[in-house]
Amino acid sequence: MHERTVSTIAELDDTDWFGNVGRVDSQNAIFLSSWGDAVLSCSNEEWDALTQEAANQYTSKLMQADAQQFKKWNVLVQEVKEATVPLVLKKTLAVVEANNLPKVFIDTVQWDILHLCMEAEYAEIIPPGFYASQAYWYTRGHFPCGWQGHFPKGKLVVF
């Protein structure tokens, strides 16, 4: 794993991911007011399609830019998962238990953190983008969970 990815994971580990949920502290997003609304938003088909498309576009650009490095993608995903799965479980455990959150919440967070780290892995080839912007919100104590508007116009939805 690239040292940049290790550093990204360490930074994520050092922050309180959900400490500011429910607090409106920016004009750059639409803020939800409950875990119920956040779960509905993150399980929305449009949000799922957007996050899938962001990952697909990133891997497509990577394949075009450096096919040899792209061939390592699946191996690196497994290596990165060895670090991100335990991290996500650690960071989500208390909030899942306190709010009786469903598996879709953990799956959403896991997807975001895995892809953030994969953007870090390949940053020298393709600059980080969508998932790096998701990390901004996690490290500031929020849960990015949707989009309002026609992407890329519109605003991110966070709790």
Beta strands 144-148; 155-158: pairing state: antiparallel
What pLDDT is stored for residue 12 in this prediction?
A: 96
pLDDT at position 144 is 98
pLDDT at 152: 87
Burial of 67 (0-12, 13-18, 19+ CB in 10 A): exposed
pLDDT tens string, the chain, 159 residues long: the values are: 999 999 999 999 999 999 999 999 999 999 999 999 999 999 999 999 999 999 999 999 999 999 999 999 999 999 999 999 999 999 999 999 999 999 999 999 999 999 999 999 999 999 999 999 999 999 999 999 999 999 889 999 999
With beta carbons less than 8 A apart as the criterion, state whether 159 and 22 touch: yes
DSSP for 93-124, please give it.
HHHHHHHT--HHHHHHHHHHHHHHHHHHHTTT
Which is it for the CA torsion 104, 95, 32, 118, positive or negative? Answer: negative
Q: Look at residue 33 in the predicted model and tell me its pLDDT.
A: 96
